[in-house]
Structure formats: C-alpha cells, structure tokens
Chain A
Amino acid sequence: MRKEEAKTKAKALVVLMAFLLGVFSVAAVAGQAAPPQPVLNLGAIVVGLEAGVAGQASSPQLAPEEASEQSEEEQQADYKILQISPKHEWFELKPGGEKEFTVKVKNKDEEAVSTSPRIEVQPFGEYFLEEEWITVEPSSADINADGEQKYTVTVKIPEDAEIGHYSAQVVFTNDTMPTPYPAPFPVYVNSLSLSIQVWEPPKIVVQPRHIHDRVEAGQSQEYEIQFENKGDKAIAISPEIGGKERWGGPFENMIPEDWLTIDASAKVEANSKATVKVTVKVPVDAKGRYEGNINLNIDDPSIERWDQEVHIGLEVWKQPTTPFREGFTVKQGEKVSVVVTAGQHVYDRYGGGVEENEEPSFDVALMLTTPEGGKLTPEPSKTVKTGEISLGMDYLPPWEASSEGMYHAMRTEYSETYEITNATGGVWALEILPRNAERFEYTIEIGE
C-alpha cells in the first residue's frame, strides 16, 4: 500500500515538474524579441521595427500585416496633394534688398484643404533665413478641390545681413514625409524651398588673377598684383603662398615656397590703389612647368573664398646655347635658300609683369663641313611677318555679333630668309639658334 502510495506521489511530482517546465518554456519563448518581418511596403517596415522593440519590452504585439494595413490607411488619410509652383526658388539679393514673387498652389485632392503658410528653417546650410525676413500673403486660405490659390511671398534682407547663401522652406500644410527611421527634422510634403544668395559687389578689384609666364632658369622675375579699393573703408590684405580653392592643387609640380617673395602692405586704403609685388627667383637647375597659388586673404566678405587667389603658372626654360644643326649637300654654283619660321598664337603671349618684346628671332649660320670651309653668318635677305585674321564667325558670343566682320588677330608668324648664291659644292651645315621661340620650322631650298 505504501509502495503504491509512493508511486502515485512520484507520478504526481513528475506531472507537476512537466507542467512547470512547460509553463517556463512558453514564458521564455514569449519573452524573446520578435525579429523584424521582411515586408515590402514602407508602413510595414516601420511597424516591423516597432514590433521588435515592443517584444523586448514584453508588451503586447501587433501582427505585422495588421499594422501595415493601418499605416497605409493613416497615410492616405493624412496626405493632402497640393501642386506648388514654383517648388524651388533661388535668387540673389543685396543686404537691404527686397524681392516679391508669386506662388501658385493648386489643390489636386478630392476635398478642400486648409493652408496656413509658415516659414520653416532647417538647421543645415550656410546661413538661415530669419522668419521675420519673409512674409506670405494671404496668411491662410482654404483651397477647394481642384481650386487654386496664389500667394505673394516677399523677402526683405536686413541691411546688416551677412553675405552668404541662405535657405528656408515655405510650408503650406503640416503633412510630412514618413521615413523608415526616426528623422531628426520633418520633411514637409507641401512646401517650397527657398534659396537666397545675399551678395554685394566686391569693394576691391584685383588684377591679374592669373600670372602665366616663361622664366629662364637662374633668373628672377617680378610681378605686380594691383588692388583697387572702391569702398570708403580701408580693407586689410595679407597675401601668402598657398590656397587651393579656385585653381585646384596640390599641383604636380608646386612652386617651392623659397622661390617666392611677397612684398605687400597690410591694407588697401579707402578709394585708393595698392600694389603687391611678387618676386620669383628660379634656381639654375629648375626645369619644366611649375604652379602655385597666392592666397590674398582680403578682409572683404563680398569676395568669395575661392576668389581670394591668384594662380601662378611658370614655364621654366633654358635658352639653348648651342645651335640646332642640319646638314645638306649642294652642287657647285647652286643657289641655297633657307627659310626659318616661328609662329605665335595670340593666346601664347605671356602675362608677365614687364612687357617684353616676345617676337622670335634667329641666329643663323651656314658653313661647308670641310676643314677649309668657313662659317657664313648671312643677314636675312628677307623677313616676313604673316598674320592670320578672323572675321569673327564662330568665335563670337551672341552679344558680340555686332563685331562680326571686323578683324580679329589670331596668329602671327615670323620668318627670315637667308640666301647664298653660287655656293661651293659639298656638304654644308645649317645652324639655327632660336630666341624667344618655343619651336621653329626651317626649309632648305637648293637651286633656282
């Protein structure tokens, strides 16, 4: 009897243990976070994420599909479809300036929409438009289905506004774009983006902005940058080597800093001019193309950061000291005629500080290559300057059409002709030493 009693107790204990284990297992499974459900539409993704969070907190959960349907319904109910024209507006204004423009808002919805335009400034962008700088008239309006309402937006920039790029939104309804993640700032669906460049004409004029020159190795060259302050206050300047806002860089072959010396005053007085002298000293062993920038550091907010720079491009070269040499054979008594030519495009002229005579020239010598042959250095029998002139077709912007048919110099060519009559027969050599020429051509004519 006692044995049977003990068996019954043991069975009851096992059942109790099994029951308790079952209860704990269910509780443990229920306590686990439900994973986000992979779903296609936007609302479902949002709800899927929310369900996961709710699961962690052991809160009652919504089935994802059910939540998705609710979200779509809510979205459809919340959206007001307004056609706003323009959707983006950009213009320039000076401090103290004012501009007015009209915005057409058309209700594409099936029921009337209440609008009450307001200004929203989102905290990104360079500068923020202040709410009181913008007025929208009317301040509110109900637009019937398929109806249209015109608003007048007036922007007034205060006199003391800083120069820069400003932005804001004109928001017509509170409808916001749903986002799959918590958005730091609401994205208003029925809004107009407004961008305004507050600017001033530069008070200081700088010339040149680009120095392009050919400098002989081992030589120094001085350049002048002219400043003119048209304002009624002195403007501080502090030119220094560096800067890569406008002209790019770092360059493949930077001008080493120790080549450059800048001589500048600290400011340009009101209504006056100043000159900054830049001296470039090129070492003897330099060759090739070098580039660099000078950051002018002009204390004038109307000058853009990237317009503070003067670019220097230098072509370092060495004047050849030994002539180019070419041989040719002449029969006794023949006439020899040598023409040497160098061309120059208008744009090839260098913008150095000092005006130089850039016209090419040549030292030409002709000689018999035999030991007894003397060296002849004839004077050119003929010099020719050839010009290529355009009448402007294809080269003129539309606002210069009035100069079509006028003459525009494009290219100039210089040539020198050297002649020897009744030459001694044998092998001759032609030697050409060019000056102020990057390249040249020659023609040797033998005989009449």
Chain B
Amino acid sequence: MVSAKKIVAVIAAVVVVAAVGAYFGLTALENELKPAPDLDSGLSTTVEFSGRELNEETRTQIVSEVLAGITPYKGIKYDKVNISAIKNGEDHDLTVICFSDACECQDVFDFTYYGAGKQLVQNRYVLEAIPPSERAMAISVALQNEDAANLMRTNSLESVTPTVRRVLPETAEKFYLPKTLLSVTWTRFGANPVVVSVLVDPDEGKAVNVWSNLEVGNKGGEMGKNE
C-alpha cells in the first residue's frame, strides 16, 4: 500500500523539478531572444549613393553588400553612409564614408565590387569614427605606457595631436588577440619623420604593443654599429 504521505512527497518532488526546469528553460529562451547590440544600428542609416553607369539592380546589390560589410565601433551607429562608385571595366571601385553623429571623425572603407561574381572585396580602410570618450581613454592609456611616453618626450611629440584608429580583429590577432583594438599614433612629418604608435585594448584599458619607426631603423642599423 502506498501511503498518502508518500504520494504527497512524490507530487512535491515533481513540482520542484518542473519549477526548476521551467526556470532554466525560460531564462535560456530569454537569452536567445536578446537582440544583438548593433542589430538596430543600420535601421536609421541614411545611404547616399553616387555613381554613374549603374543600373538599379546593381546599385541595390552594392548597397546591400556594403551595409553588410561595415560595422561601426561598439555603442555607436552610422547615421549616414556615402557610397561613391567608379566603374572600372566590369567592376566598380567603391569609396564608402560612414558618419556617426556621436563621433567627430569618419570611417572610410575602400571596396571593389566584382560584377562577374557579384562579390564585394574590402581593400583597405581608415576607421576613425570612435566616440570622444573612447578616444580620450585610448590616448590616456597610451600615454601611461612608459616606452611610448619616453619616445614622445625625446622626440618632442607632446604637441602633436594623435590619430586614434580602430584595428579590426583579423589584424589585431597578429599583434595581440583577435578583438577590436585602438591604434593611437603620433606622427611628425618632415625630412626625418617620427612615428610612435601604441596599440590599446579598449576593454582592458591597457597598452598591448608599442611601435616606433625609429626603433625599426635602429634594430637593423645604428644600434648594431655601436655594439
């Protein structure tokens, strides 16, 4: 005979198990449904297209490919994207300038759209659309690096305004980790140019690499002669 107490205990256990299962199931579902941080970033982007000798279908195709191929810096969205296309045989050379109201500078991409394969290839880029606070943080972190600070002091670079550029993960991987980094660079042009650059991990607030064209020159030349 099964007693009433045992039946109650079994029912209570089933309820507890079901409740725990439902809790974990729901929270897991909630996580899956969270939108990606930049999912809505392109929704209010104005796209301006300039380029002759392009039919509507190719133009639509290029805009679609370009918007899929560009990503703004974390936390911002592109408010305007200018695409200018120049026909080069069957292909099109594209200059894409991306503006964000949150940033002073722009991201500039250089693509080629290969007509035969309907393929967009990114050639090069200069990504300077970075929020002022992130830019300031990167400069601050770079200046805290003793090597960089010494190079700047000895080369009188203090008065030079540095450029701050985004380094994409595929490039960053070669120098640190496959993640978005910021490159803070001081350049003095002229007959004897001086360049000092610090690679900054914005998530960690930390300098991860320092480069100077002077050091590159020294490694192969002057230092060796002196030794």
Write the nearest CB–CB distance from A204 to chain B, whole angstroms: 9
- Encode B152-185 as 1/0 by CB contact (under 8 A) with A: 0100001111000101100110110000010101
Interface residue tally for chain B (C-beta within 8 Å)? 46
Q: Which residues does chain B contribute within 8 Å of A248, judged by CB atoms?
A: 153
Write the nearest CB–CB distance from B196 to chain A, whole angstroms: 9
Specify which of B153, B159, B189 is in contact with A411 (CB 8 Å cutoff).
Answer: B189
- Encode A209-252 as 1/0 by CB contact (under 8 A) with B: 11010000000000000101000000000000000001110000
Q: Does the CB pair B195–A403 fall under 8 Å? A: no
Report Cα–Cα, A212/B160, bound state, in Å: 9
Q: Does the CB pair B171–A406 fall under 8 Å? A: no
Q: Which residues does chain A contribute within 8 Å of B135, judged by CB atoms?
A: 207
Report Cα–Cα, A258/B40, bound state, in Å: 53
Contact of A210 with B158 at beta-carbon distance under 8 Å, contacts A201-B206, A399-B171, A403-B125 already known: yes
Contact of A209 with B125 at beta-carbon distance under 8 Å, contacts A397-B197, A398-B175 already known: no
Q: Does the CB pair B110–A405 fall under 8 Å? A: yes
Q: Does the CB pair B126–A399 fall under 8 Å? A: no
Write the nearest CB–CB distance from B164 to chain A, whole angstroms: 11
Write the nearest CB–CB distance from B122 to chain A, whole angstroms: 9
A394 part of interface (Cβ distance < 8 Å):
yes
Specify which of A199, A207, A306, A311 is in contact with B140 (CB 8 Å cutoff).
Answer: A207
Q: Does the CB pair A406–B108 fall under 8 Å? A: yes
The stretch from B5-13, B25-33, B70-78, B141-149 touching chain A is B141-149
Q: Which residues does chain A contribute within 8 Å of B89, judged by CB atoms?
A: none
Write the nearest CB–CB distance from A426 to chain B, whole angstroms: 42
Specify which of B143, B158, B181, B195 is in contact with A399 (CB 8 Å cutoff).
Answer: B181
Q: Does the CB pair B167–A395 fall under 8 Å? A: no
B190 part of interface (Cβ distance < 8 Å):
yes
Q: Does the CB pair A201–B204 fall under 8 Å? A: yes
Q: Which residues does chain A contribute within 8 Å of B188, judged by CB atoms?
A: 347
Q: Does the CB pair A402–B168 fall under 8 Å? A: yes
Contact of A205 with B140 at beta-carbon distance under 8 Å, contacts A397-B195, A402-B171 already known: yes
Write the nearest CB–CB distance from A267 to chain B, whole angstroms: 19
Report Cα–Cα, A201/B201, bound state, in Å: 11
Q: Does the CB pair A400–B159 fall under 8 Å? A: no
A410 part of interface (Cβ distance < 8 Å):
yes
* Shortest Cβ-Cβ A-B pairs, 9 listed: A201-B205, A397-B197, A207-B136, A212-B159, A403-B126, A397-B211, A347-B160, A205-B137, A406-B126
- Pick 13 A–B contacts, CB within 8 A, sort by A: A202-B140, A226-B136, A246-B149, A247-B153, A313-B158, A345-B190, A347-B189, A398-B211, A399-B172, A399-B175, A399-B183, A399-B209, A406-B126
